[in-house]
A and B are shown apart, each in its own frame.
Chain A
């Protein structure tokens, strides 16, 4: 239909005009050759005994290698994986790579995460078959992102981002070091052997990197080649994470563990209702409490509402004194939020969009309306997902010191550069006057892409006369002032033709736009007055891998006022539940086995079919189970990685009990196999907590779930056996921190349907199951 065709064109032209703007900005900037992504030795501050060979690599006197670590370790194992890339190319044992936090140069910025924002369909970007439009947009985005140099540990992109530049940086360093040995010994490079950082020649001479480094810094690298895959000793092999020992004896320093001379502690009190602010504050009684030195009014900062901070001798003293604070809170001018009302409005918006062909079409092909009208069998269903909290085990916190025109920040952050900018804005200094120390993160999951807690800490530090202050949120503040995974609704429709073939799929979804809100808070300089279509809320719904001739996947972006943000796997987290539950419904409507039904729609996607087949084989799909058990499966691609899961479960005491999760995946080259397995386990446990129990309710403006007893998480006793199987691949590595999460909820729901005959179309599943089964 012309109207829809035009809409699809608008998306493309919008995208391309955006790219053209980027292109215009790029004119005059050199399009940098790959080697300039290595940066210069001058990016390091000189330290005695160490020689920098480029922006990423320094050589220590003992021959060890120091790697500039630009990514935050929040459990995903990124420090280990990136160190492995460097150790591989330099022929060093992993233990000989030391990490030092990278600075703020653009070479340390993120690029692949931004490519992930592009609203392309899988048909445009399937590796090896990329369309010209996608290749152009990807190239432009990578160049643009590298110029911007925004450092984000997120979007499951760290290994993908590091894959080329880090190996190149290490290989270039190695070439220079070997070049020096070759000159020194008058022996050809090709005859030199490197083992564990020791360079030698069969004729006798031996030395190590530390003795070659000074001269290497003055020598050109000559020809640089990356190792062939067959020569890998580390990549793809078992390796011990480099952060384990200190995480087992209490030494690891998280944000809350920063201890500095003269440190004072601060608690924060936000309005109980979202968007509220303190009207009057009587702090006299609080200030009379022992160990309390001051009360600081905080304006709205970094997305956090206006709040009050109490500063004192210990965190406990400040929390005790907070009870004595007398505050009258002002309700938000827009009124008190209510999640039930918002969810009803989302449903109304989705239904209206479906009736009136509204919403922004992120994908359309063929003529879905005509195909639905002509279908001999139609299926329609409405799916819902609630708000969710991140609930990192380490609550939000930041330590800051403002003295002598300089700001120093110790933060568990996924965005050190944006944290620096936020600190500079609050303190009224140039970003160059701010130093950010990134600690270990006690979980991130997207919550630490925000800078609210950093801005608050710096604001309080402005009042403490040069003494450092550690601002720490209580668990209750953390739950009730999160940037939540948005609630979402999708009305899905499909039709089969007279031959029983699935011919048409329509989705009309509604949810709050989230990246524009995140940009306003964390990246205000790039935030525009009008929201661009936000792909992240529709991802995993508009880009299904299945061959369905007629599709229209449209979305209504809303703005409810609830603070929303990036929650592990972002839009995929609920869209996979919508899509893969519905596909299961379609299989049952077609009277087909859910595995065979999917494989029938995947003939043009051999990678997806291979992953699904592997999961089914390993799980024994189709084989009899003991009575009272059932299996369910789901397939989902996110962050470049394809994941299929088969869940085996039963019901005990009216509660779902998941016994086994078999996971197969294709993430390109596997760098760290145990890291991949850990991320699968992590995503399954995180995903099960959300699928079975997770929900945030807002009543009268107040978030009802205040602490863990109100927001149940999976426990060890409830954790299933989790198996990870990877499909061998020669493609560059793709994401692993998030992709194993999205298919979990639909796999569980599909198994519950097989077991009970009840199709559960709303998350979380456990209370819903209890209610439908009475």
Chain B
């Protein structure tokens, strides 16, 4: 089966996988892309969040069979050729991570939020970021999302003729 991951076409050996196999394990154990994390296996914690056609999805419950023709973006592809995503820069600037285990999922959920909502309010952030963090990075996640939103807005203004 062919998958599109981070803008690249990737072949997954059908012999080694199974249509029921969740994307999380295909990424981690077959493709060796370990940035996406296992936390609960029941879509409760969000550590495995990736974007599928731009929408945040918990990859631990998303079977391979559902991915035909879809574009997957993982933490490894969040930044681009131009360097880190504004969220990644804000994450460093605001010193968000502690243990860091949940942060790939946090960042992907935040990226999806900013795609859909350029100026998220506190309530929007509350609603969109339901990922669990045991280290308590939440207050910094909130400030970093707002900082990244400001940066993106500035960029858009700067891009205007």
Contacts and interface: CB of A to CB of B under 8 A. Distances in A.
Contact of B34 (A256, A316, A715, A716): A256
Main secondary structure of the interface of A (DSSP, over half): loop
A721 B122 CA distance: 12
A661 B52 CA distance: 38
Contact of B29 (A245, A247, A314, A709): A314
Nearest to A258: B34
Contacts of A73: 99
B103 to A, nearest CB: 6
A252 B107 CA distance: 14
A247 B103 contact: yes
Contacts of A520: none
Interface stretch (A415-423, A440-448, A646-654): A440-448
Interface string B104-145: 100100000000000000000111011111111111111000
A246 to B, nearest CB: 8
A716 B126 contact: yes
Contacts of B92: 240, 244-245, 248
A91 B54 CA distance: 47
Contacts of B78: 249
A678 B138 contact: no
B56 to A, nearest CB: 14
Interface in B12-33: 16, 18, 21-22, 25, 28-30, 32-33
Contacts of B99: 73-75, 392-394, 440-444
Contacts of A265: 29
Contacts of B133: 393, 685, 716
Nearest to B15: A290
A674 B95 contact: yes
Contacts of B49: none
B37 A256 contact: yes
Contacts of B102: 393
A738 B133 CA distance: 17
Nearest to A680: B136
A316 B21 contact: yes
B100 A713 contact: no
A681 B37 CA distance: 23
Contact of A315 (B29, B42, B132, B136): B29
B40 to A, nearest CB: 5
Nearest to A681: B136
Contact of B95 (A241, A445, A474, A684): A241
A250 B101 CA distance: 9
Contact of A713 (B36, B101, B132): B132
A317 B40 CA distance: 16
B89 to A, nearest CB: 9
Given A250-B74, A709-B44, A716-B129, A393 B138 contact: no
Contacts of A231: none
A393 B134 CA distance: 6
A241 to B, nearest CB: 6
B93 to A, nearest CB: 8
B126 A247 contact: no
A259 B29 CA distance: 9
Interface in A375-405: 391-395
Contact of A257 (B34, B129, B142): B34
Contacts of B134: 391-393, 443, 445, 686, 713
Nearest to A717: B126
A367 B21 CA distance: 68
B141 A716 contact: yes
B76 interface: yes
A685 B138 contact: yes
A678 B101 CA distance: 16
- Which residue among B18, B39, B88, B92 has the maximum number of chain A CB atoms within 10 Å of its CB? B39
B34 A259 contact: yes
Contacts of A76: 98
A250 B45 contact: no
A707 interface: yes
A290 B18 contact: yes
B41 A475 contact: yes
Given A316-B18, A394-B99, A719-B142, 5 more contacts: A250-B75, A394-B101, A440-B101, A716-B130, A716-B133
Task: List 6 tightest A-B contacts by C-beta distance, closest first.
Answer: A250-B35, A685-B136, A442-B101, A75-B99, A247-B100, A75-B98
23 contacts: A247-B100, A248-B97, A248-B103, A252-B100, A254-B37, A290-B18, A313-B16, A314-B16, A314-B29, A315-B28, A391-B134, A393-B99, A393-B133, A394-B37, A440-B101, A442-B37, A674-B95, A682-B98, A682-B137, A685-B135, A685-B136, A707-B44, A717-B129
